[in-house]
A and B are shown apart, each in its own frame.
Chain A
Amino acid sequence: MFNAPKEGDVRIPSGCAISGIFSKKGKRFSGEQAIKSITLMHDRSNGLGGGFAGYGIYPEYKDYYAFHLFYDDTIAKKECEEFLEDHFDMINLSKIPTRKIPQITNEPMIWRYFLSPLPTKLAESQLPESEYVAQCVIKVNTTIKGACIFSSGKNMGVFKAQGFPEDVGRFYRLEEYAGYSWTVHGRYPTNTPGWWGGAHPFSLLDCSVVHNGEISSYDANRRFIEMFGYRCTLLTDTEVITYMIDYLHRKQGLGYEKVAHILAAPFWSTIDRMNEKDKAEYTYLRDNFASMLITGPFSIIVGFTGGLMALNDRLKLRSLVVGTKDDMVYMASEEAAIRVLSPQLDSITYPKGGEPFIVTLDKEAYQQCQ
């Protein structure tokens, strides 16, 4: 019986390790690479959470939303499936294949659904499709006890669990999946007790975030974003960051670079030195979205369809390294976690605080992944 407190029950102020691997040409490679990278940073985790996000992993279902769910029990599963059937065409459903290993215990029921919004329901809602889906995800996660949608994007999926990340990777048999982009996280939770749903990546639709750090702005960010229909049920820093990115990118139409310049805004002294046009824009963004400024240490890797973004807090209080080799881009907390995959690199950079490093698929590759 799983009786330990869950995310959402307790918030305690996290270390962690993050890594991201990306092929600009859209070459698909197995999750084994991500496991190898994160394994090297074993000591940055404490066994209370790890997870992966893979992009391009469901090409045969790329037009459908892939929902990954944790259920505590069959009652939650029944209630949730009723909700899903009520709102979506269910194209396929199955248990997510796992491998029983002694390191991973207390697993909930882990299911996967490929869905398409019911056209009539969608029309009734008068919402854009993405908003319809996002609201359904938030509804399930806030109202159906024992059900947690932890992945909801198209042609991507999040795999996470309580345990060390390398064990989580083996548990989910990630060597059997292939994607053009992977992010991975090893967790050292301090804010929350560490539970399957609270492990990273945290995602909404196709946006997934892995995060190293603990943000001191959490409650200011949370209380602001909750005005716009989001519900921070897990009390983790990563959750609120994900929602803010979703709001600014999907709802406000900002590119990821501008999103980064709200989350880790330039200092006023920097803005004051800009030319008039830039100064007006940065002042506008910083003033209007002041409550989305994140302070405290963070390094994040944001996964999205066709790209990755690495971002440090503006004081660069956490480590973050980016390396490139041919069409491959590597991001990690430690350089060694990159060198273990590609000892020889074309370039290695250490992004400045607040300056995002964004990589996207080449045009041709992007069209293929759509």
Chain B
Amino acid sequence: MSINFLQPEYEVVRNMDRCITCRVCERQCANEVHHYNADLDRMVSDDSKCVDCQRCVTLCPTNALKIVKTNNCFKENANWHTSDITDIYRQATTGGVLLGSMGTPKEYPVYWDKLLINASQVTNPSIDPLREPMETRTFLGKKDATIHYDKDGNIITKTTPQLELSTPIMFSAMSYGSISYNAHKSLAMAATKLGIYYNTGEGGLHEDFYVYGPNTIVQVASGRFGVHSDYLEAGAAIEIKMGQGAKPGIGGHLPGAKITEAVSKTRMIPQGTDAISPAPHHDIYSIEDLRQLVYMLKESTNYKKPVIVKIAAVHNVGAIASGIARCGADIIAIDGFRGGTGAAPARIRDNVGIPIELALASVDRRLREEGIRNQVSLVVGGSIRSSADVIKAIALGADACYIATSALIALGCHLCRTCHLGKCNWGIATQVPELVKRLNPAIGSEHLVNLVTAWTHEIKEMMGGMGINSIEALRGNRLMLRGVGLTEKELEILGVKHAGE
């Protein structure tokens, strides 16, 4: 075997005074980091295999383990970082495209962190959420610009189909295949209990999950995996995925190892084969083609379901969104470049696309300039990490937010960013039966419900602080935000004033 120049990223530190060689770590680690050495009667570790998933650390009964980032260092400089060097070593060894999971780890500005939220003082009082109703109910879908009356002068209330959410948060698309059966079930159960929606991603819908249909958004992606009439009928809404924030312009790739029998059946593809979805839909090469698909899906579901078009946040996203709004979509989902992924070419994930904050602000502004903002709802995702991010997104113009990585973290994900390996020790991004079992859907869904409930409480608190008692009064209310440390141009695009103004 040739030398690959690569050194372990992490070191397993074992406190030998505490280790009782119970071998829990060995049994828990799908990456085979830990071994029992009978000759030495002690546990030993292979640091090179460790992905820092923290499973062993969490489950060690004597707290004998910790994983630390190695302090073995390359001779870095301001231009050449360890990651640059090791990536070259990897590619020199394999000749392949480097894959990565989850959102980009690169240090791009996080505009959420440069926006501060307003609070009322004296002239406009705060509202106490413990005493007064705070409404977070949200409807997504096209709104009527004109009221129509019947011959008796009554308002005709029939409208285009809407999605009703108890709170402006949904679980973003994650396919069955990229995540486990139990992870999917957790999301479906939680969405149902919360009165929100989860999204199938492009993996189809397992027949066990049809029962959660009223809280399911079914996705039609370029691979059309698992798409059939029952599937379209099963969901409350249909999402056409044109792009994904982590990999704009790129299709999907689910390694054959993850295509188990059940995944194969759900996706309608052979077991064990790689599921490669193309970047483009091969029947959509223009906005007119997209319009045809939008209406084909509406037609095939009898105009009872809103159609979402999901795009990645890219340059000129305002014009793209305008085209989508005019092509009949009820909802536009925009995914920012910091969004997560099960697997993406790392170079693309780290360099393609734009931040969701800027994309959202420019799309909202463009649609309002064209007078069509009410004809479409905006849902944004791409690293929504807290309720504050949700508040800021809505103030910038979003109707609701998609969360995915945050939801996975609530399920126990430790962001080790190796989903593509299929060995998720937390039973989330894996199809290995013994690993899948590690995630209990009842407990998983409870954690998700707790997370969204907690965020909703926080949203209500912050709304009350602003003197707002209904989420719609926050939507596009950019005066509720102030920028800190942003350039004039950034403030202009975001449409917010600087703090102090």
Contact = CB atoms under 8 A, between A and B. Distances in A.
Interface of A: 11, 13-15, 190, 213-221, 223-224, 226-228, 252-254, 258, 265, 267-269, 280-281, 283-285, 287-291, 293-297, 314-315, 317
Given A217-B473, A317-B127, 15 more contacts: A11-B479, A215-B124, A218-B479, A219-B477, A219-B478, A220-B472, A220-B477, A224-B368, A224-B373, A227-B368, A253-B149, A288-B147, A290-B143, A291-B476, A296-B120
B157 A281 contact: yes
B133 interface: yes
B159 interface: yes
B491 to A, nearest CB: 15
B137 interface: yes
Contacts of A289: 143
B473 A295 contact: yes
A256 to B, nearest CB: 15
A15 B123 CA distance: 7
Contacts of B473: 216-217, 220-221, 293-296
Contact of B124 (A214, A221, A226, A290): A214
Interface string B367-406: 0100111100000000000000000000000000000000
A226 B125 contact: no
Given A220-B477, A295-B473, A285 B155 contact: yes
B125 A297 contact: yes
B124 A216 contact: yes
A175 to B, nearest CB: 34
A249 to B, nearest CB: 11
Nearest to A285: B155
B168 to A, nearest CB: 12
Contacts of A223: 368, 476-478
B326 to A, nearest CB: 15
Of the candidates A217, A285, A314, A317, the one having the most CB atoms from chain B within 10 angstroms of its own CB is A217
> Which 3 pairs across A and B sit closest by C-beta, in order of nearness?
A217-B473, A216-B467, A219-B479
Contacts of A267: 133, 135
A142 to B, nearest CB: 16
A186 B312 CA distance: 51
Interface of B: 120, 123-125, 127, 132-133, 135, 137, 139, 143-144, 146-147, 149, 154-155, 157, 159, 162, 368, 371-374, 466-470, 472-480
Given A218-B479, A224-B476, A297-B125, A287 B373 contact: no
Contact of B159 (A14, A224, A288): A288
26 contacts: A14-B123, A214-B123, A216-B468, A219-B480, A220-B474, A220-B476, A223-B368, A223-B477, A223-B478, A227-B373, A253-B147, A253-B149, A254-B147, A258-B155, A265-B470, A267-B135, A284-B155, A287-B159, A287-B162, A288-B159, A289-B143, A291-B374, A293-B472, A295-B473, A296-B124, A296-B467
A317 B468 CA distance: 12
B135 A268 contact: yes
A254 B154 CA distance: 10
Nearest to B373: A227
B209 to A, nearest CB: 28
Nearest to A228: B371
Contact of B123 (A190, A283, A293): A190
Contact of B127 (A268, A287, A315): A315
Given A223-B476, A268-B137, A315-B132, A295 B469 contact: yes
A322 B154 CA distance: 30
A288 B156 CA distance: 12
Contacts of B373: 224, 227
Contacts of A227: 368, 371-374
B135 A216 contact: no
Nearest to A12: B123
Nearest to A267: B133
Contacts of B470: 265, 293, 295
B105 to A, nearest CB: 35
